[in-house]
Structures are given as structure tokens and as C-alpha cells.
Structure 1
Amino acid sequence: MWRYKFNILPVLACLIHYGTAMSRIDPLVDTKVGLIRGLRATDGDYAMFMGIPYATVDGANPFGPSEPHPGFDEPFDAYDDSAVCPQVDEFTDKEVGSIDCLHLNVYVPNTANSKNRLPVLVWIYGGAFKIGYSGRFLYGPRYLVKQDLILVTINYRVGPYGFMCLDVPEVPGNQGLKDQQLALKWIKNNIEAFGGNPDQITIFGESAGGSSVDFQSMYSQEKLFNQVIMQSGVALAPWAVGAPEPLVPLKIAKQLGFETTDTKEALSFLASIDTDLVIAAGAELKLSYNPCVENDFDNVTRFIHDFPLNIKKPNLGNLPTLLGVNKDEGLADFRSKTAEEISQNSEIFLEYLNYYFNFNTLDLNEMEQIVRNFYIGDEIISENVVEGLIKVYSDLFFNYPTARTLQKYLDNGLKNIYYYLFSYDGERNFVKNRLNVTVPGASHADEIGYLFDISYMDKNPAPEDQLVIDRMTTLWANFVKFGNPTPQTTEILPVQWPAATKDSQYYLNIDADLTVGKRYFNSRIAFWELFYKLNEKAQIGYKARSK
């Protein structure tokens, strides 16, 4: 049998059916881990290599670190992107997934070859570290691969399987982040075989995915990528990192009928239980899962060794960065609630502050009053003050952490930082569309519908939506290619997007029109800047002296 070795090897199979010869050409790549066979896309000029396993999980300890996949002795048919890590599906509210889920998908324009190596863009999904998957149901590649770049989307473990942080070395924490790191190593080592440039890799993510990108930038000891894009998520977000939670496996085991005070006994029991039951028990207990500052164990490498707020000088080097938020991050969260549900949450300000600051009772009440007065005055919590509730949610969880990250990175000497505000309200606003929220605004994750070809959305977008798709994918692709989203103005990008500086924090407002401004939400950001300075030592994780 003859084998012709190129970066992408066509394999011709002739299928004879009822006397008619049918030809099919599948792409085949020869990687460092073996031959991988993909499919030609039917909706564009690109190839798809889907469901490639990059790591494996130990069935005896599915909550612990994964290991690199050993590779393939026979050609691997990369045809299936349906693998999902254990979680509650956000659309069906059913438990789904298995631990055999650490796969990635590579989408390659037909122009890629050994003489035309394309830049690479790697997507890390969000989902509060509890949900998410990389397949085309949500993350169709059509819009981005049209920009002549290779798109890679990766699975990583979420929930208890990815972010159980314990006081035993078998489950030290941040397994999901370590999965991501293994995926990035795989891409760095193998993307050249697909026609990609291993020295031109940009990672991007949204919400928990954006925070993951920041964690990879801040804590990774290897140079696995060259640029980053963080959408509505940074490491400094108060929800992004916490301390280990050693009682989690004991609680889940008890919920499933096995009561013990021994962590390893609980883990062994849970490893023997169907993943759907483990996920369901965690959901019933309303457990949350986050990256954590890991305990120090012998012969165990920590990924996160300290809270991000204590890392005064992150080792970023010259890392071109694009980051921003959506104009109304908290919109869908509140506008999808009834008036009664809003009114019932009368202590929402106390809950927000108590969760992220170590205040004594007196200080907590005083600070709560200050924040409450700033956003809703003397009004009680009700539907009448929902705009103020949306703003405090948006500012505390997204807007201020992003502005704080921008300032921190500028203070550390980064030059190529591009700051954006997504304000567009169209038919493809992802979360508003999913939750059937009809009030105007751009909610958390709404921009996803303009970067990805979401499977259940209209394949022929309205002209005004198509323009936003073309603009966003071109801006993101220009950044991937040149480290600058507007290397020159064009008909589709008539505005120059200047980099932010210490003196002028420029941002691009992405709406029906593109405009440039300075320091969005300036008075609200200034309020939180003063609040955090006043309460610096009360921040959870704060250390008086740090490196």
C-alpha cells in the first residue's frame, strides 16, 4: 500500500453503489501521536478533525490529574465531536457526559499547508466551571475559519471532576486547568502537521474560559501560546478562585448514601458510582466548583500557588492581550427572574460582599449600606430597582475586575493591550436568545453568537447581524495574525482601534457602529477602585507581603 506523506494527505476511497462510482477525499495528517483522519466540511472550504483524544483520566481516580494520551497505532478517525465531560446539560437540565471526554477539535482551512502555515486560535469555553463542551452544537467554526486561521476547540473537565480542591495529594485541585494545559501542549506539539504555525498561537475564552486564559498566562511555566483574548472573565474576578474545599466529596458521598469522615474513602466510593449520580448529587446540594489555591504536597506540582491579587508582577513578558466585557453583563440574570424572585433576595448586597470579603459584622453592614446607596439609594429590593441590581452585578463580577486587570497589566509594562465593550443587541445575542430575554441590551456571553456558528440559530443571519459577525471575526483574526485588531482601516473596519495606555484607556465600543471611547463606566469603576483600596486587607486571599 502506497502512502504519500504531506502535511495533509488525501486518501481516496471509491465506493461502488448500484453500479455508480462515488469518490470521497478525506484529509489525513501525520502527527507526532500518529495518523489522524478528518472530514471535509460541507459548509465551507475547510477540514474538520474532531474528537481527538489528548489526555486520559484514571478510572480509579477520575477526580485527579489526567495524563497525556499515548497516541495511535492505527489511523484515528476524527469524525465525532459529541464527547462531553460529566455535567448537567444547560439546555436539557439532564445529567450527561463521561470521563472519556478529554478531546479536542481542529478546523483547518484548505489553504493551510507546509508552505503556508496559518496562525492558530484556541477556544476555552465558559460555564462557571460547572458546564461546557467544545462541539459544534454551540461552537461552529464556519465564521472564524473563513478568516484564514486554524481554530481549535478543547474539552476540559468541569464540576467535581475538574475542580474538586482537597487536602489530599491525589486531588490537589485545578484538574480542569491542568487538562487545558495538556491540551495546549498537544496543540503546540502537533499543530504543525495540520498546517498551523506553532509559534503563532492565541488562546481565547469567555467567562470561566476567559479566567482560564488569564490563569494559563499567569501561572503556566511553559510558553505554549503567544497571545491571549479574555472575554468577560479574568483571574481577578471574585468568583474565579477560592480556597480548597475538603468537605465536598464527603457531602456528595453522604447525599448518595455513603457516610464517612475519610476523604479517600469518599473518593473511592464516588469513583465507583455512575458519573450522572455524582453530578446529580452535587446539583441537589447546590455545590459550586472553582479553581483554588492548591495546598503544597511533596512531588505534586501546584498550578495556582497564590491568589491572583497577591501576584503583583505576573511573568507575562511581552504578551499581546485583548480583553473586555459586555455592556449589560447582568441583564439576563435579572431579567429572566420574576418580580417575586427579585423581591425575595432582599440581602443580595450582603451576600455579594460577604462572599468576597472578610468583613466583621459591623464593617459588613456599613459597607453594604455604602454599596446599596450608590446603586439603588434608599429603595428596597424590588423590580423597581432592577437596573441598579444589574449594574452592581455587572460591576462587581465583570466590569471592575476587567478594568483592574487592564491597569495591572499596564503597570507591568505590557504595551499591546486592546480593550473593548460589546454593546450590540441583535438576533444572535446568545444568552438573551436562549433565555428569551427581550429587553434591550448586551448580556453576559451574548457576543458568542457573533463569533461562532451556533447550530440552532439562523444559517442566514440578518444583514445587520452579519455585519457584526464579519467585524468581530475580522477584529479577532487580525489580532491573531498581527497582534493588532486594526492594522489598517478598511471598509468593514472604518475605525482604528488604539491600544490602551496608562494615560489613555482607549476602548472599542462594538455596536451597530464601531466607535472609540476612553474608560467605560468611569464613575462606577472609580467607585469600586476606591472601595477596594479602602478594604484591601479585607479581600479574601489577601497577603500583606507577597512576591
Structure 2
Amino acid sequence: MWRKQFFLLVLGIFLSSSLCIAVRTSVTVQTKVGSIKGYQENVYIDGKEKTISKFLGIPFAESTAGVNRFQKPVPKAKFTNTFDAREVGNTCYQSTPEMAEVLENTYGLKTGFSDDCLSLNIYVPGDVTTGSPKSVMIWIYGGGFLTGASAPYEATGLSAFGDVIVVTVNYRLGMFGFLRDSDGHFPGNQGLWDQQLAIKWVHDHIESFHGLKTNITIFGQSAGSASVLFQAMYPGNRGLFQRVIAESGTPFGYWAVVNESISDQYIADQGCTSLNSNSCLQSMDSRDLMSNTTYDFAPVVDHDFLISSPSEIIFGNSSRTSMAREFFATVDIIVGANSRDAMPYFTYLWQAELGLKEMNFTVDKVLFKDQIIPSIVNETIDTNDEETKHLLEELLYFTYTDWSNPNDTDVIRRNAIDIYSEVLFYAGTIRLVEGHVVLSRGRTYMYEFGFDIENHIDIPPWIKGWTHSDELAFILGGVLFDNRYMFGKTVNYTIEEKQISRTLMTLWTNFAKTGQPNLPTPTSVRWPEFTATSREYLKTSQSATYEIGQQFHPHRMWLWNEYIPSILSLSQISRQHVEAKRSTPIPVGEKLVG
């Protein structure tokens, strides 16, 4: 249930695509799949006039309706006429009607929903007819694998400021993107295959837009962050991209990989059976397939795209996973999280749980111990043993209580947010980084951003630091446009916020160009590599200064990644031992004691 609530609510951080009205000039590019007509315009970013060329809604796959539904995507045939790429394409169906309604009515998505939605948008800095070759960045959106679209992620700012080509892609979501039944009718991971086909399309055709096919970075946020790391574990991507930037999400998050039982339950609830599920589901109207019931569809270990679990791929040593592990080892990565990443989930969830209208509510130690911590254990830790659950609840309460001031409600509330942030994002982030460093092939960089900014969207005033999605406007460049209109209000970013955006966009595009965030364009930041010995990472203070961290929350990361798994392992061994004793026949004449 939490994933639907969380990722529906953080849609509020989507970027507005409304820019100053500019004169548009049509421009046509010849590609291997035919002629594509886009447009060129001049925009003002950071007080400077820049030329940008846009090619929108380019289909990279055929419609996913009918027999193509729930299957791997089919590459788009060549265009017989010039394709008009001056408008954004259709949006993929969402997991629920509620999510579709939010995208349309609250966030102004005008494209409409369709099975024919697998398209991409290309932003080229300068005049595409005369420009020099550029590095390429491919953006994959988040939304918990349940909701989202490429259209709201306006990439003009990042492309123009950083002098890189930016591509944003659509992929299928929810049941449309991740249905995998136990009988093998549906392969699962359709959304990941969509992303992979889009990446291949870019690699194969980006030279027509003056892009460097040998210098491609994939990047994403939240579920998009986990997605780009999944792509880095699929050896079929070898040669298609060289670098990955993962913002607030990894395959190690318990929300990032699910089992097939979700799909089996969904199929049954639609009135279909294992014998007719293929024809039954493929004949239904797509709008009827969206469900008001919460199904947390997400990637599965299908032994095809994901040859095994992320843990086995990165930390294992079997020959079966060696190709995936070797490919993952070769890519350069940036991975990180925000200082209050789980704040939206915590605030909205407990506001609803407590029946409150305001987000500015008190968390005392009774609420913390008796409701919040048990909820976290039930949601995030895989055990049905009540004694183990109770032990873990006591452990978390002890660890996340400030015993020098145990009744301070502000401290308790902050610690509650920290638990959610650490189990949802932090623990997986450090585990991913440590695994990549051990393989010791590609460069590894890590960050934790915690600026105190003025322009949050619908965030309570007591929050300090960056929450989930706060970095998007800064990295995609919306901050550097004057008078941004976002969700009913005009935003004028401060001088400090604009400088944050310049720095982060420079770090991101430097990395895309060279594999090093510090080159070629200098900034005031020195970002060292994370190594097995130094364990250094980039962190920020609330006053917008950059620091070098030496260890990443070591005690709590050890708790989540080492100690709690050990407790669960011992608990399982103990249960197996008890069950074995119960099933062992007692020899005649012996007395059962205890």
C-alpha cells in the first residue's frame, strides 16, 4: 500500500514545462528510420539566450495493444513519410485511474493515455543542422513503477546549460509494464524491456542528431534510479551506454523487486484463469485493466532481463551471473540520496493514519514506539515470526531514540523520518556503492544532498534539508528560468538556489562527458571517488556548502545491511531447527521433555 501513496504524492515535484513563448522554426533530420521533423527555438536560461532543437514524441516501438500487450516491445518500423516530432506523444496508461486523473487534472498533462505510448523526446543544444558532436544523457522517470510520464520532465535547461543532448523516454507501468504470471504467459519486466529498447534506439540513431553514440549516460530518479541500475545489470546493454547516475533508489530497496504472486492475484481478480489469461487480458479495454485495488507491480527476477537477484549479480560468483556482473563492473556510476528522502511518504502516510488535515503534526514517543515502528517492521522486513518482529521493534526504538532527550517531539519526528529514509534509500545506496567498488572496474561516486531551500512544493515548514525529488528542478534546469509557474504559483528562485543548480548541472554533465564530475568544467566542488579504503562521498550542509564525508552513517548502515539480516537468518535457522525436531519420530520408550 505504501508505494501507491508515496509515489502518487511525490508527483507534486514534477517539473513544469511552461517556458516563455518563443518563435519556433521547423527543422528536419535524416535518420536510419526516415525523416524526422522537429523544431528549433531560442530560450533564455540563466539570463542568456540559448538555441535549442527539440524532437518530441518519436516512437521507438509499435503499439502495445492487442497481442503486444504484456509482451516485450516490438521495434518500430521505418517511417514511410516524414515523422512530425513537434508535439509530445501519448502517455502510457497508469496503474490506477486515480493516478491518471492526478496527472491530467493536478499536473496538467495534456497528451492523453494510449497503448501506443512508447516514444522518446530529444533535446539538442544549438543548431542541430550545424552542431558539433555532443555527449548524450537518457532520462528515465520515477513513480514507483506505478505512475509517471516523460512529458513533465522538461529537459531544455539541462541540455542548453550543460551542452549535452538529453533524451527522455516513456515506458509501461503497473500491470502493463510488470505483469508476470507463474504460468509463463507473460514475461514480466516489460517496462525494463521498453527502457532497454529506447536506449538501443538512441545508441543506433543519435548520430543523426550530432550525438556521440560512444558517450551515453543513463540517469533517473526514484524508480527511475533503480531502473538505470537494473539496466546496468543487463549484459545485453554492453556498448549501449558507459555511465549511470542513480538518484534516490537502488535495486536493493525492498520495493524495487517483487514476486509473481502479485500478478497471479491480479489475473484472478480480473475474472481470468491461468488457462485463458492471455486472450482474456489482451481482449480487455486498457482503461478497464487499470485497477482501484493496490497492486504493487515492480520488476521481478525473470531469469532473462534479471538473470538473478541483484544481490547475487553483484556479490555472487556463479558463472550464471558472471556476464551481468562483469558488465555492471565496467560502468561509471554516481549514486546517492537526499537527507530527508522519505519525508513525503512519512508525512502524508501518518497524516492520513492519524486522521489529520495538517502536515504539521506532533510525534511523541508513544506514537513512535507503538505505531510507527511496528508499521515499519511490518512493511519493510520479511518475517512472519512474531518474536522476531518484537525483537526488531525494540532494536529500532532503542537505536532511533535520543536517550539524552527522549521526550523531545521534534527529535522523535526527525528520527522517524530518518528510519524511513534509511530503509527505503540509504541502506541500498551504500550497499550498491560497496558492491561496485569491490568489482573495481568503473569509477564510483556517492553523494548525500541536504540543502535547506525556500522553494519546496507543499512541504511543511519544519522540514530542513532536501526531500524526495527536491533535486529534480535543480538538475534538469528549471531553477534557472525566471518566473517559473509550478502548480498554481509563480516560483522565483533565490540567488543561492540558482547557484546550487549551476553547480549540480555542471557536475552531472561533466560526468556524462568524461566519467568524472570534476572535469572538464571546473566548479568550487572537489568530488573524490568512493574507494574501499577512503570511503569518501560528497555531502552538503543546509547552508549550501559542500563537504567531503568520510563514512556514510556507518552505525545505522551496519544495522540495516548486516545486523538485521543476521537476526533474520538466525531466526530462520532456529525455526527450521524447531520444525525438524517436531517432524522427527520419537523412538519408542523415550520420554518427550520440554
Q: How many residues align?
A: 497
Does 2:76 correspond to 1:74? Answer: no
Which amino acid counterpart does residue 340 of structure 1 have in structure 2?
L
Question: What's the CA shift for 1:271?
Answer: 3.1
Cα displacement (A) at 1:489: 7.7
The structure whose residues are more often helix, as a share, is: 2
Contact 1:489 / 1:496 at 8 angstroms: preserved in 2? no
TM-score normalized by structure 1?
0.83
Contact kept, 8 Å, 2:144 with 2:222, in 1: the verdict is yes
Q: Which residue of 2 aligns with 1:232?
A: 248
The correspondence for 2:265, drawn from 242, 248, 251, is: 248
Give 2:474's match in structure 1, choosing from 450, 455, 458. Answer: 450
Residue 487 of structure 2 corresponds to residue 487 of structure 1: no
Instruction: Answer yes or no: is the 8 Å Cα contact 2:477–2:505 preserved in 1.
Output: no
Q: CA RMSD in A?
A: 3.0
Superposed displacement of residue 40, structure 1: 1.1
In the TM superposition, residue 165 of structure 1 has moved relative to its aligned partner by 2.0
Do structure 1's residue 516 and structure 2's residue 524 form an aligned pair? no
Q: 1:34 to 1:156 in 2, by over 3 A?
A: same
Checking the alignment, whether the CA contact within 8 Å between 1:112 and 1:196 is kept in structure 2 is no
What is the alpha-carbon distance in structure 1 between the residues aligned to residue 390 and residue 121 of structure 2? Answer: 49
Residue correspondence of structure 1 range 139-288 to structure 2 within 5 A: 139-223=154-238, 224-245=240-261, 246-253=263-270, 259-260=271-272, 262-263=273-274, 265-279=276-290, 281=291, 284-288=292-296
Alignment CA distance shift 1:139-1:438 (3 Å): farther
Give the direction of change, closer, same or farther, for the CA distance of 1:350–1:393 in structure 2 (3 Å limit): same
Q: 1:536 to 1:54 in 2, by over 3 A?
A: farther
- Find 1:134's aligned residue among 150, 165, 175: 150
1:49 aligns with: 55
Is the partner of 1:241 in helix, strand or coil? coil
Query: For residues 306-317 of structure 1, what are the structure 2 equivalents within 5 Å?
Result: 306-311=308-313, 312=315, 314-315=325-326, 316-317=328-329
In structure 2, the residue corresponding to 1:233 is in which secondary structure?
A: coil
| CA deviation map 1:464-502 (0-9, x unaligned) | 111111111000000011111113784xx2131111111
Q: In 2, distance between residues paired with 1:268 and 1:428?
A: 49
Q: Tell me, what secondary structure is at the counterpart of 2:124?
A: strand
Identity of aligned residues (%): 29
1:424: how far off? Answer: 1.6
Question: Does 1:529 find its partner at 2:571?
Answer: no
TM-score in terms of structure 2 length: 0.77
For 2:570 and 2:280, the matched residues in 1 are separated by: 38
Is the 8 Å Cα contact of residues 326 and 423 (structure 1) preserved in structure 2? Answer: yes
Partners of 1:348 and 1:292 in 2: CA distance: 29
Unmatched runs of 5 consecutive residues or more in structure 1: 1-22, 254-258, 297-301, 541-547
Deviation of the 1:109 alpha carbon: 1.1
Q: Residue 30 of structure 1: CA displacement?
A: 1.0
How far the C-alpha of 1:143 sits from its partner, in A, is 3.1
Map 1:236-385 onto structure 2 (within 5 A): 236-245=252-261, 246-253=263-270, 259-260=271-272, 262-263=273-274, 265-279=276-290, 281=291, 284-294=292-302, 302-311=304-313, 312=315, 314-315=325-326, 316-336=328-348, 337-338=350-351, 340-341=354-355, 343=367, 346-354=370-378, 355-376=380-401, 385=412
Kindly provide the amino acid, as one letter, of the partner of residue 511 in structure 2.
F
- Measure, in 2, the Cα distance between the counterparts of 1:487 and 1:532: 40
Contact 2:477/2:501 (CA < 8 Å) preserved in 1? no
Q: Which amino acid aligns with 2:397?
A: R
- Deviation string 1:169-220 (CA, Å, 9 cap, x unpaired) is 3312100000000001100100000000000000001110010011000123
- Work out the CA distance in 1 between the residues paired with 2:564 and 2:61: 40
**2 CA distance for matches of 1:118 and 1:486?**
18
* Shift of residue 353, structure 1, vs aligned partner: 3.6
Deviation, 1:152, is 0.3
Q: In the TM superposition, what whole-angstrom CA distance separates every residue of 1:261-300 from its partner, at most 9, and x where no partner exists?
A: x135345344333333322x2xx21211110012x6xxxx
For 2:536, the equivalent position in structure 1 comes to 506
How far did residue 133 of structure 1 move?
0.7
Residue 404 of structure 1 aligns with which residue? Answer: 431
Cross-structure match for 1:470: 502
1:198 maps to a residue whose letter is K
AA matched with 1:176? G
1:11 maps to none
CA distance in 2, matches of 1:269, 1:332: 38
SS where residue 185 of structure 2 aligns?
Answer: coil
Question: CA offsets per residue over residues 338-364 of structure 1, 9 Å max, x none?
Answer: 382585995543444444424533222
Secondary structure at the aligned position of 1:503 is classed as: coil
1:414-471 superposed Cα distances (whole Å, 9 cap, x missing partner): 4511111111232444xxx155666322111110110225573357532211111111
Instruction: State the 1:527 CA deviation.
Output: 2.3
Residues 368 and 459 (structure 1 numbering): CA distance in 2 closer, same or farther, change over 3 Å?
Answer: closer
- Structure 2 gaps of 5+ residues are 1-22, 44-49, 317-324, 356-362, 479-483, 573-594
Distance 1:32 1:105 in 2: 17
2: CA distance, partners of 1:522 / 1:385: 20
**Match for 2:493: what amino acid?**
P
Partner SS for 2:493: coil
Which residue identity does 1:291 align to in structure 2?
Answer: P
1:29 matched to 2:26? The reply is no
